[in-house]
C-alpha cells in the first residue's frame, strides 16, 4: 500500500516536474521569440518585402548589366579574367569591381550549394540579389536604430511603415546598380551623422564618392559646409581625418580595378569626366530642372512627400538633416540627364522627416485640427499602397526578354540534346531582362553580337532568335512575350488597367524542322 502510494507520488512528482519544465521551456521560447521580434521584426518585414520583389521580378536591365555580369564572372570564371563579359562589352564608361567582389563573397557559400545540387543558374541570381539586399538593408537598419535613439520608437515605427508602403527603395535595394552600392554606404553615413560621429559620416561619403558614385560629392559639399558652420567639425580636423582616407580609397579602387580592366584605371574619375566635364550623359535623354521635385520624389516617396515637407516645420532638429540632402537634389537638378535612381540615397532622410510629421499627427489625433490631418494621412497611406501595387505590376511586365529566354529553355530543351542550340540575343533583348545568369549549359550556346543585319541572321545558322522584330527572313515566329506599355484609367472597378503589348519575339530557324515543329504557342501580334 505504501509502495503503491510512493509510486503514485513519484509519478505525480515526475509529471509535475515535466509539466513545469515544458511550461518553462515554452515561456523561454516565447520570451526569446518576443525579444527576437522586438529586435529584428522591422528587418524581417522590410526584408520579406524586398525578397518578394527578388523572387517575383528576378531579371535585370541594362543599367544593372555591368555589376550583374561582373558578379557572375567572379563566381563562375574566377581568375580567368579573359572570359569576363566586360572585356567584350565594356559599356560607355568603366565601373568598379569592388561592389561585385563584395556581393560575390557574401553569396559564394549559397552559390556553392547551388552548383553542387545542379540547380539552374538563375537560382544563383536569386542568391546574389538577396545578398545585396541583405547588405543594403543591414545598413538601413543601423540608420533606423539611430532614428529610434534620437527621435523615439514611434518615429522609428512610422519610418518603417512609410518605407514599407513605398515601392522604389525596397525594389531597388537588391538591384546591382552603382547607385545601390552607394546607397548602402550612404546609409552608414546617415547613421554616423545622427550619432554625432561626423568625421566617420564624411569618410563614408568619401568612400561612396571615390568608389561607387562620383555624384555623392554633391552631398558631401552641403553636409560638410553645414557641419563647419555649426562648428561640429573643423577644417583642420577634416583634413586630418579625411585626406588620408580618401587617398586610401583611391588607391584601393585603382589597385583592384586596374587588375580587372587590364589598364591603369580609376573608374569613377572617368565617369565624372564623362558625365560632368564632357556632359555626355545628356545623350541618354534630358528632363527639365524641376523633374526631381515634380516627378521622381513624388513617385518614390508617395505619402512621405507632403509629410516630409510638413515635418520640417514641426521639429527644429529636422532642417539640419533636410537642408544638405535637399541641396544635394537641388544641385543635381542642374544636370540635364535625370533618373530616379540618381537621388535614391536621399529617400531615407526624407522618410525620417516624414516619420516625425506622421508621429506628431498621430499623437495629436484627438484634437479637432489634427484629427483632419490624421484622416488625410491615413488616406495618403492607402493611396501609397495602391500606387505601390500598380508600380509593381508594371515592373513585373518590364523584363520581357528574361521571360522569353526562360520559356525558350522550357520548351526547347525537349528537342535533340546532342546538337548545339545557338540563341542570338539582340541588343533590345539584352537590355531588358537577359544576363549571363539566365543562360543554361550545353547544348545551349548564346550570341550577343551587335550590328548583324536582319537579312544575315539566317546565314549565321542560329537555331533561335530572341529579338524585338516580329518577322525575320528564314525564321518562324515561335511565341511572343508581352510587356508593359501604359496605364489606362477606366470607369468602374478597377479604375486602372495595365495595357500590355508584344515586346519580344522568339524565332526558330526554318531549316531546323524538329525544333520549329514542336508545340510552340505561336505568335498572335
Among 367, 397, 427, the domain-final residue is 397
Specify the pLDDT at position 418.
64
269 CB neighbour count, 10 Å cutoff:
15
Position 30 in a domain: no
Specify the pLDDT at position 399.
94
pLDDT at residue 159 greater than cutoff 90: yes
Burial letters 346-362, b for 16+ CB under 10 A, else e: bbbbbbbbbbbbbbbbb
Residues 306 and 158 in one domain: yes
Taking the C-alpha atoms of residue 157 and residue 41, their distance in angstroms, rounded to an integer, is 11
Among 397, 412, 434, the domain-final residue is 397
Weakest mean pLDDT among 226-240, 456-470, 492-506: 492-506
Position 274 in a domain: yes
Residues 390 and 449 in one domain: no
Q: Is pTM beyond 0.75 here?
A: yes
pLDDT in tens, 65-118: 999 999 999 999 999 999 999 988 888 899 999 999 999 999 999 999 999 999
Residues 58 and 192 in one domain: yes
Residues 6+ apart with CB under 8 A from 246: 206, 210
Position 25 in a domain: no
Q: Cell 572617368: give the residue.
A: 270
Nearest residue to 446 via CA among 464, 470, 473 = 464
pLDDT in tens, 259-317: 999 999 999 999 999 888 777 777 778 899 999 999 999 999 999 999 999 999 999 99
Q: What average pLDDT does the chain have? A: 89
Q: How confident is the model at residue 512 (pLDDT cuts 50, 70, 90)?
A: confident
More confident site: 525 or 378? 378
118 burial via Cβ count (<10 Å: 0-12, 13-18, 19+):
exposed
Alpha-carbon torsion, ordered 461, 462, 463, 467, to 10 deg? -150
Q: How confident is the model at residue 415 (pLDDT cuts 50, 70, 90)?
A: low
Position 496 in a domain: yes
Residues 6+ apart with CB under 8 A from 410: none
Q: What is the mean pLDDT of residues 361-367?
A: 92
Q: How confident is the model at residue 34 (pLDDT cuts 50, 70, 90)?
A: confident
Position 290 in a domain: yes
pLDDT at residue 33 greater than cutoff 90: no
Residues 323 and 404 in one domain: no
Among 370, 397, 424, the domain-final residue is 397
Determine contact, residues 412/385, Cβ cutoff 8 Å. no
- Phi then psi for residue 433, to 5 deg, are 135, -15
For 280, which DSSP code?
G
Specify the pLDDT at position 91.
85
Residues 343 and 415 in one domain: no
> Please, which residues bridge with residue 467 across strands?
505
Weakest mean pLDDT among 20-29, 309-318, 361-370: 20-29
Residues 132 and 218 in one domain: yes
pLDDT at residue 9 greater than cutoff 50: no
Weakest mean pLDDT among 36-40, 234-238, 239-243, 422-426: 36-40
Position 1 in a domain: no
- Phi then psi for residue 327, to 5 deg, are -65, -40
Q: What is the mean pLDDT of residues 152-159?
A: 95
Residues 512 and 474 in one domain: yes
Taking the C-alpha atoms of residue 508 and residue 392, their distance in angstroms, rounded to an integer, is 32
Residues 405 and 385 in one domain: no
The parent domain of residue 341 ranges over 41-397
Specify the pLDDT at position 117.
93
Specify the pLDDT at position 524.
66
Position 308 in a domain: yes
pLDDT in tens, 369-403: 899 999 999 999 999 999 999 999 999 999 999 99
Q: How confident is the model at residue 30 (pLDDT cuts 50, 70, 90)?
A: low
Specify the pLDDT at position 90.
87
Residues 97 and 240 in one domain: yes
Position 524 in a domain: no
Residues 245 and 185 in one domain: yes
Specify the pLDDT at position 8.
47
Specify the pLDDT at position 515.
75
What CATH number corresponds to the domain at position 449? 3.40.190
> How many structural domains compose the chain?
2
Specify the pLDDT at position 24.
52
Taking the C-alpha atoms of residue 321 and residue 285, their distance in angstroms, rounded to an integer, is 31
Residues 406 and 393 in one domain: no
Specify the pLDDT at position 232.
94
Residues 330 and 419 in one domain: no
Amino acid at each position: 500500500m505504501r509502495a503503491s502510494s510512493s509510486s503514485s507520488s513519484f509519478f505525480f512528482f515526475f509529471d509535475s516536474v515535466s509539466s513545469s519544465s515544458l511550461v518553462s521551456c515554452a515561456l523561454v521560447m516565447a520570451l526569446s521569440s518576443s525579444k527576437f521580434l522586438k529586435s529584428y521584426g522591422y528587418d524581417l518585414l522590410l526584408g520579406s518585402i524586398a525578397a518578394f520583389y527578388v523572387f517575383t521580378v528576378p531579371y535585370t536591365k541594362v543599367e544593372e548589366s555591368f555589376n550583374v555580369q561582373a558578379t557572375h564572372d567572379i563566381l563562375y570564371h574566377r581568375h580567368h579574367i579573359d572570359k569576363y563579359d566586360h572585356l567584350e562589352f565594356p559599356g560607355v564608361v568603366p565601373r568598379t569591381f569592388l561592389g561585385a567582389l563584395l556581393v560575390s563573397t557574401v553569396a559564394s557559400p549559397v552559390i556553392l550549394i547551388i552548383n553542387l545540387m545542379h540547380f539552374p543558374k538563375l537560382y544563383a541570381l536569386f542568391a546574389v540579389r538577396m545578398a545585396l539586399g541583405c547588405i543594403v538593408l543591414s545598413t538601413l537598419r543601423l540608420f533606423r536604430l539611430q532614428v529610434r535613439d534620437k527621435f523615439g520608437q514611434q518615429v522609428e515605427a512610422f519610418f518603417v511603415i512609410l518605407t514599407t508602403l513605398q515601392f522604389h527603395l525596397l525594389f531597388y535595394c537588391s538591384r546591382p546598380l552603382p547607385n545601390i552600392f552607394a546607397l548602402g554606404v550612404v546609409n552608414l553615413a546617415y547613421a554616423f551623422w545622427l550619432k554625432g560621429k561626423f568625421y566617420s559620416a564624411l569618410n563614408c561619403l568619401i568612400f561612396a564618392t571615390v568608389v561607387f558614385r562620383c555624384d555623392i560629392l554633391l552631398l558631401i559639399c552641403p553636409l560638410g559646409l553645414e557641419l563647419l558652420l555649426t562648428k561640429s567639425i573643423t577644417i583642420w580636423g577634416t583634413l586630418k581625418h579625411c585626406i588620408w582616407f580618401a587617398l586610401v580609397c583611391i588607391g584601393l579602387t585603382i589597385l583592384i580595378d586596374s587588375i580587372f580592366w587590364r589598364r591603369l584605371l580609376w573608374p569613377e574619375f572617368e565617369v565624372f569626366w564623362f558625365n560632368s566635364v564632357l556632359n555626355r550623359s545628356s545623350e541618354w535623354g534630358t528632363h527639365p530642372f524641376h523633374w526631381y521635385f515634380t516627378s521622381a520624389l513624388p513617385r518614390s516617396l508617395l505619402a512621405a512627400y507632403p509629410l516630409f515637407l510638413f515635418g520640417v516645420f514641426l521639429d527644429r532638429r529636422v532642417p539640419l538633416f533636410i537642408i544638405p540632402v535637399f541641396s544635394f537634389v537641388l544641385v543635381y537638378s542642374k544636370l540635364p540627364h535625370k533618373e530616379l535612381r540618381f537621388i535614391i540615397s536621399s529617400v531615407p532622410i526624407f522618410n525620417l522627416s516624414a516619420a516625425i510629421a506622421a508621429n506628431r499627427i498621430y499623437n495629436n489625433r484627438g484634437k479637432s485640427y489634427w484629427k483632419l490631418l490624421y484622416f488625410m494621412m491615413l488616406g495618403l497611406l492607402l493611396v501609397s499602397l495602391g500606387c505601390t501595387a500598380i508600380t509593381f505590376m508594371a515592373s513585373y511586365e518590364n523584363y520581357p526578354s528574361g521571360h522569353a529566354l526562360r520559356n525558350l529553355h522550357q520548351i526547347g530543351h525537349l528537342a535533340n540534346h546532342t546538337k548545339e542550340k545557338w540563341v542570338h540575343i539582340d541588343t533590345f533583348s539584352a537590355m531588358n531582362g537577359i544576363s549571363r545568369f539566365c543562360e543554361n549549359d550545353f547544348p545551349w550556346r548564346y550570341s550577343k553580337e551587335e550590328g548583324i543585319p536582319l537579312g544575315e541572321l539566317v546565314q549565321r545558322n542560329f537555331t533561335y532568335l530572341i529579338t524585338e522584330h516580329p518577322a525575320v527572313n528564314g525564321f518562324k515566329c515561335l511565341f511572343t512575350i508581352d510587356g508593359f506599355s501604359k496605364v489606362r484609367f477606366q470607369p468602374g472597378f478597377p479604375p486602372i488597367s495595365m495595357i500590355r503589348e508584344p515586346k519580344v519575339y522568339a524565332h526558330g530557324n526554318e531549316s531546323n524542322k524538329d525544333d520549329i515543329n514542336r508545340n510552340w504557342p505561336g505568335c498572335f501580334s
